[in-house]
Structure 1
Amino acid sequence: MKANNLLGGLIALVCASSSVNAGWFPNYEQVILQNDVPAINEGFNLASLPSEVGEAWQEMKQTLSSSAIARLIKQYQAPMSSFPNPKLKFEPVMTQFEALSNDKFSDYSLRIKKNHPEVLGLDAVNQYTGYLDIESLDKHFFYWFFESRNDPATDPIILWLNGGPGCSSSTGLFFELGPSSINSTLQPVFNPYSWNSNASVIFLDQPVGVGYSYTGGDEVKNTATAAKDVFVFLELFFQKFPSFLTNKFHIAGESYAGHYIPKFATEILSHADRTFELSSVLIGNGITDPLIQAGSYRPMGCGEGGYKSVLTEEQCLQMDKDYPKCAKLTKLCYKFQNALTCVPAQYYCDIKLFKPYSDTGLNPYDIRKDCAEEGGNCYIEMNYMDDYLNLDRVKQAVGASNIDIYTSCDDKVFRNFIFDGDEAKPHQQYVAELLEKHIPVLIYAGDKDYICNWMGNFAWVNELDYSGKEKFSTKPLQKWYPQGANGKAAGEVKNYKNFTFLRVYDAGHMVPFDQPENALAMVNTWIQGDYSFGY
């Protein structure tokens, strides 16, 4: 799930935060608080950049207030040891786990706990939980693995990643595509459309600090840093379960996973000595090419995306006027790829192009709905999930009893990525790299999402610079008829060789939540190797 108000991350969350990424340049405080223009890293200074960057920083300065920013920077620069981790209770947990390591990754180890399905009643299949530990950095990544309901010996393996940045993959597990959801009485409800119907699924809480994952030291502040940890996790996972090395392996996710998955997949391919192979990637309602996708907010909100207009004519006209500056700032971010250029790009694009929609009070993940104020991220069901995962018996069962407070989305991780400028950075080039290396890629999008809407995803895939661009971009969309849909179209699809785009009708940001049966049909079709979806 992509955070529903990145502007809030830059304004409201900043004012309550205890961290801001000053690490990109040594005189960050002076750059923001004054009209000083000190030299910064990479050999250029603020005055050398186009005026739009300085204007965006000035606007943020006026919005955030100097005293608030100064306080944040002072807190950020304090030693990490002065910040106790509020998530943790100090309890011994190692005795619950089997542990394994590998000399290739001397600082890493994997803890594994086989769970008894009857304890939590989520599914009858084999289940494992545990942690990837990086001892010297005091980083600990939680995972939950469910074997397939069908034939785990031969069925594919799927690694599922939620977005945020900073949201737990337990959102996917309990809210979207896992074996059970959680009801208002905190009881599991069996999901007949779980993605482990024909695949074994790993749910990984990353970056560190998300969900049941925790750290007493280093934090992850961008997608590139997170990639190595995920690669090592997979190496150790397949070391623990060598029988799965012959199974197809896919990475799937949504939202900010549009950043994660392309980078993680290319990280995997960069290791020639890896012990496992990547079969494909699937990205749902992702944020991958912010430059192009920001341009979709106006048409999606103004009635051109298959739903009525929810913005005024004046707002629509103003957004058309504001996009060129957003694009110019984002191009600078693409060029330099540092916080100095990427933070103001994100700030300007959010305040000019996303805020008009945010101000309506509508659900950013589903344009058809109001945002349920009582529900986490606009969905009351997410509160049930949080409450369930905070039950002591659940923590004990999965080996997370040292976690004091579970939250589905972690503000601290979110802020770290925001102030690194990670959100505005390009990741579509990694998709092109995957395609050139013959890795199949599915980009799917529920067509009632606003924040990472189908129009923006459709636009960037057609503009993707790779060897098959001309053939792919000229392919028409065709009706998608999933198995079991009784001849009713459930979306529109286009494909050229290993690259596929799928629009899913009547689904919001979280396709498996809104269209569970069609989502399962989609993933089953894909993992069976039908990349054209019947064409």
Structure 2
Amino acid sequence: MGRAESSCSWLCLLAIIVNTGLSSPLAGKEVWAYEEVREGAHMFWWLYTADTDSQNRPLVMWLQGGPGGSGSGFGNFEEIGPLNRDLEPRKTSWVQAASVLFVDNPVGTGFSYTDRPDGYATDVATVASDMLVLLQHFFKKMSEFQSNPFYIFSESYGGKMAAAISLELTKAIAQGTVKCNFAGVALGDSWISPLDSVMTWGPYLYTTSLLDDYGLADVSSAAEAVKQAVEQQQFQKATELWSVAETVVEQNTNGVNFYNILTQDSDEKRTSVAGDFIALQTHRHIRPLHSQSLSELMNGPIRKKLGIIPQNVTWGGQADNVFSYMAGDFMRPVVDIVDQLLTAGVNVTIYNGQLDLIVDTIGQELWVKKLKWEGLPGFNKLRWTPVDDPTSPGVTGAFCKTYKNFSFYWILKAGHMIPSDQGPMALQMLKMITQQD
């Protein structure tokens, strides 16, 4: 097996599981491999086929945030994979309803790696181009999935990447360079319009009693500085000022957690990093996706199980660089890309957690109202529909609204990582979006 590309059959997997002491997934098979998407740039993917009737189930690709967060690690073992971090079966695994493809992207994320500095992506255009190469290879190798409905699901910055990838994929399918049945994209708590998120932090925190008048003024002032930088197209500066705005929020809320406003960061976590904004932001938003216990799992038993990770590559070892190289593109909006997707007839779903701060629902609703899509007036006229919590019939777990090829899900009692906070509701939403419910 080559250094940059390999896979493992189900029988091989069973042997590895026995040798490493890992628990077996509930059913189905796994396949994983590397793809060289550019010279010296290697991306890792890991596929779980659906527990039952995989030939007729949709294929879902999951993209993590950051940029630099690992789908093969966090998304897999903390959110939707068949096993949790303790390698115990997850009751709300998405593999119950779909085959799930985790991809560590951009290059340098998770087990993905680059041989040299110019291998890192610096914008979402490169991210999309790299993913297109990977998908070309994937659907050629795994041709049995070419006819399955293919959905891209995402979280946080993964949503920004998913939008760009979806547009390029739509073009590639039309040109015949990728063979797949693309059925839609779902943007979860997504960094589509960064400024709309930042500008609503103050009002959201104020109305939830997490800021007083002085705090609201401080946060609003910091947000205005970000706005000026974005309006002047100074995106690197805007990213730095975004970091400043987050610090102002922390100072005025005594450390509210950006991923769930009902929790609080510890004093140790808030004060343990000082220095440049890249180090601070990777500590705030990348390191939580690489906890010590998860890192030990990925660089220990999982690495041994996979058997194809180069000796000089560690899971998450290049994550800080991924964020650093993307910093100049971080605050750029991609609302126009969502508009293009809708106009092209692509099924687009937005879903957001009620308790998320960093990508608050208020900000999501603001950029949705800015869409130029011709169906927006019809969407705005609709009233939302309550969706029962699947574990508590009669209790509302979410609200949703669908018009033509656009849907919005408001997920209650969930923060930034919806599958972690409300696993049953997230699984139900997946079934609804993929028309299995």
Q: Is 2:398 aligned against 1:491?
A: yes
List 4+ stretches of structure 1 deviating above 6 A: none
CA apart distance, 1:114? 2.6
Q: Provide TM-score, normalisation by structure 1.
A: 0.71
1:286 alignment partner in structure 2: 190
Pick aligned residue for 2:324 from 400, 408, 415: 415
Deviations 1:410-467 (A, max 9, x none): 111111111xx21111111111111111111111111111111122112211222211
CA apart distance, 1:318? 3.5
Pick aligned residue for 2:94 from 188, 195, 198: 195
CA distance in 2, matches of 1:291, 1:525: 30
CA contact (8 A) 1:252 1:282 kept: yes
Change (3 A) 1:379 1:208: closer
For residue 487 of structure 1, give the secondary structure of its aligned residue in structure 2. strand
CA contact (8 A) 1:113 1:399 kept: no
Change (3 A) 1:389 1:382: same
Deviations 1:461-482 (A, max 9, x none): 1222211122223333332225
What is the RMSD computed on CA atoms of the aligned residues?
2.4
1:173 alignment partner in structure 2: 76
2:219 alignment partner in structure 1: 319
| 2:249 aligned partner, one-letter code | Y
| 1:396 aligned partner, one-letter code | K
Deviations 1:31-84 (A, max 9, x none): xxxxxxxxxxxxxxxxxxxxxxxxxxxxxxxxxxxxxxxxxxxxxxxxxxxxxx
Q: Which piece of structure 1 moves more, 460-469 or 447-456? A: 460-469
1:108-507 equivalent positions in 2, closer than 5 A: 111-115=6-10, 116-118=12-14, 119=17, 120-123=22-25, 124-134=27-37, 137-169=39-71, 170-183=73-86, 188-217=87-116, 218-271=119-172, 272-273=175-176, 274-303=178-207, 308-333=208-233, 341-352=234-245, 354-359=246-251, 360-371=254-265, 382-391=291-300, 393-403=301-311, 404-407=313-316, 410-418=319-327, 421-507=328-414
Q: Which piece of structure 1 moves more, 489-498 or 343-352? A: 343-352
1:66-145 equivalent positions in 2, closer than 5 A: 94=2, 111-115=6-10, 116-118=12-14, 119=17, 120-123=22-25, 124-134=27-37, 137-145=39-47
CA distance in 2, matches of 1:463, 1:472: 13
For residue 528 of structure 1, give the secondary structure of its aligned residue in structure 2. coil
CA distance in 1, matches of 2:340, 2:181: 16
| 2:380 aligned partner, one-letter code | S
CA distance in 2, matches of 1:202, 1:361: 35
CA distance in 2, matches of 1:289, 1:349: 13
Q: Provide TM-score, normalisation by structure 2.
A: 0.86
CA distance in 2, matches of 1:472, 1:189: 42
Note the residue ranges of structure 1 that are not aligned, 5 or more in a row: 1-92, 96-108, 334-340, 531-535
CA distance in 2, matches of 1:323, 1:476: 31
CA distance in 2, matches of 1:299, 1:292: 12
Note the residue ranges of structure 2 that are not aligned, 5 or more in a row: 270-282
CA distance in 1, matches of 2:356, 2:255: 14
CA distance in 2, matches of 1:319, 1:490: 31
1:60 alignment partner in structure 2: none
Change (3 A) 1:376 1:422: closer
CA contact (8 A) 1:462 1:472 kept: no
CA apart distance, 1:484? 4.9
CA apart distance, 1:356? 2.2
CA contact (8 A) 1:249 1:280 kept: yes
CA distance in 1, matches of 2:397, 2:31: 34
Deviations 1:94-145 (A, max 9, x none): 27xxxxxxxxxxxxx85433354541325132101110124x6211111110
CA contact (8 A) 2:349 2:408 kept: yes
Which is higher, the Rg of structure 1 or of structure 2?
A: 1
Change (3 A) 1:247 1:397: same
CA distance in 2, matches of 1:508, 1:143: 27
CA contact (8 A) 1:446 1:507 kept: yes
CA apart distance, 1:230? 0.7
